[in-house]
Chain A
């Protein structure tokens, strides 16, 4: 029989590698200047879904909501072994907070039919909120197990998983369908398969096909689309209209949280006493700390 797994993935700015040019003079962030990467814990989520398929059979479907550029990580999902991928993209989704995002994701999942699992990374490195997973589970009306580092047992429609925390762990049993968020330690993501990479590197979304057609009168969008579909290389895009979504719940207007103010980090003062890294300098510092009654 096997299990049908949906994996939620996100392309994120690589916040670990922020350089000076990324900050605009007005103190806001120039997102375009940041390298975009596959959110690390989402890659683990895909790996776990693929492991479930390896052991029990079934199907793995990856979804991402994002701008057209996010197709990049969907191709990576295909290289790793995802059976199908979907890009959920619409200008009207822009500015979505976690609530609006989970609304769109949950509606897209419902459209894809029955499923056993939804897997997601615990959190994305650009916001670290860890909210989209549980909010999507709530909207789907299914239970969630967060902070999973291992699937202990999978038997019929019951999953037993281990949740890992700083100071311990829990073994939790849930009825399926369920949503699981996984932590980095749960698995090592598999490398891309060479044959799949060769096949799927030319997989394209509709927007990418449109780019190819631009300025080339010999190509027609519909012909290309047909050809890519035939070859299994078409990445379908789900838009707001296709998902029949309530616009007032999407994007900026569907987001209860708003960014009211951003301030670039201005460091106050900067007055400090300097000590040389020499024996004498350190002697002076330690004496000072003794006078401050911190040492001694």
Chain B
């Protein structure tokens, strides 16, 4: 049994795999290559063997599948117990989870049981030899995340933890399927229920398919706390309408109630890579930049010439957004005529 396995917990809801799991498999494949180890997927649910096979297209050499009627929907107690047992038995070197409501419910329980290091909301993962407190640690997982209000970027390591765990938000890693799937092995693991599995029961589930999909929008008009109010955000919707764009916001704008949370871009929101990102009244905290700095072109509009957003934008306009945007719409419409 190799100790260099990289595992990805593949999350499903109503039999549909989460995008973030395939993104993590894509990243996990590279980590496994650096470790000279194998990438494996773990799928818990009911009728999930097709999902297991899909992970072979992302390089999983083996899919560990626990398939049972009682496991159709995520259940904290049953899922965490299964993961606890699998991780304890196989001792993978790395386990990755999506930083979704399911991943954030599950990962800490498994990390606690196995006493593993767990780092939340990583924006990058790398493998590197590390010297820490004068000790050499070959091929550790570097878990990189902004911290402390975005003033610093921290690299977290779990040097003495046999299993290193991390969660990553959806969209942060790129989804890269292989041209040819690997010839993976599907291993079925029997489900043996315990009374504790039933301490929690999900009685009802109500999900609306999200109307917004920022990840596929070619143009995004985003507003920050500097927009000032929910009413002023209307202007962004007008601009977005004219440009055929989606509207997004920073965490500060979401927290202030200017815009709904599903439109939040940044470390704890969505990561986007549009053709054009128009940042309006956004100062440019690192957490926000983590979610948008790979945009092809960035326009920044801000009345503070020293705002950090100007350091990463391609085109900058120093001015009052409430004046610049209506003028922008007017000039744009005029030119299109």
Contacts and interface: CB of A to CB of B under 8 A. Distances in A.
Interface stretch (B40-48, B57-65, B183-191, B310-318): B310-318
For chain B, what secondary structure do more than half of its interface residues adopt (helix, strand, loop), or is it mixed?
mixed
Given A143-B199, A260-B156, A294 B311 contact: no
Contacts of A262: 147, 152-155
B261 interface: yes
Nearest to A20: B151
A172 B25 CA distance: 30
A265 interface: yes
Interface in A271-293: 272-279, 281-283, 285-290, 292
Interface in B49-77: 76-77
Contacts of A144: 76, 105, 109
A240 interface: no
A257 interface: yes
Interface stretch (A22-30, A79-87, A110-118, A200-208): A22-30
Most buried by B among A22, A130, A279, A287: A130
Given A138-B112, A147-B101, A283-B331, A15 B148 contact: yes
Nearest to A278: B327
Nearest to A163: B101
Contact of B152 (A126, A264, A267, A286): A264
Interface in B152-173: 152-161
B140 to A, nearest CB: 8
B314 A273 contact: yes
Contacts of A97: 117
Given A275-B315, A279-B331, A282-B331, A22 B151 contact: yes
**How extensive is the interface on chain A, given as a class?**
35 or more
Nearest to B218: A294
A268 interface: yes
Contact of B118 (A98, A264, A265, A272): A98
A134 B105 contact: yes
Contacts of B143: 257
A172 B200 contact: yes
B111 interface: yes
A256 B154 contact: no
Interface in A89-136: 97-99, 102, 126-135
Most buried by A among B112, B152, B204: B112
Contact of A138 (B80, B130, B219, B268): B80
**How extensive is the interface on chain B, given as a class?**
35 or more
A24 to B, nearest CB: 10
Contacts of B255: 16
Interface string A227-264: 00000000000000000000000000001111111111
Contacts of A169: 206
A83 to B, nearest CB: 27
Interface string B92-131: 0000000001001101110111011111110000000010
A167 B203 contact: no
Interface stretch (B1-9, B174-182, B207-215, B228-236): B207-215
A166 interface: yes
Contacts of B115: 99, 256
B157 A260 contact: yes
Given A277-B319, A286-B332, A257 B117 contact: yes
Given A272-B310, A277-B317, A131 B108 contact: yes
B240 interface: no
B109 A138 contact: yes
A277 B159 contact: no
A294 B219 CA distance: 8
A150 interface: no
Contacts of A191: none
Most buried by A among B143, B158, B308: B158
A165 interface: yes
A129 B165 CA distance: 13
B112 A135 contact: yes
A285 B315 contact: yes
A98 B108 contact: yes
Contacts of B268: 128
Most buried by B among A28, A260, A272, A283: A260
12 contacts: A98-B118, A128-B268, A134-B104, A165-B207, A173-B201, A174-B200, A174-B201, A257-B119, A260-B130, A262-B155, A267-B308, A276-B317
Interface of A: 13, 15-16, 18, 22-23, 27-29, 97-99, 102, 126-135, 137-139, 142-147, 160, 163, 165-175, 178, 255-265, 267-270, 272-279, 281-283, 285-290, 292, 294-296
Given A127-B120, A128-B268, A286-B328, 19 more contacts: A29-B152, A99-B117, A126-B148, A134-B112, A142-B199, A147-B105, A166-B210, A168-B208, A171-B204, A257-B156, A259-B156, A260-B156, A262-B153, A267-B308, A270-B311, A272-B300, A273-B315, A277-B318, A294-B276
The 8 A-B pairs at the shortest CB distance, nearest first, are namely A277-B319, A256-B117, A168-B207, A267-B311, A15-B149, A134-B108, A135-B112, A138-B112
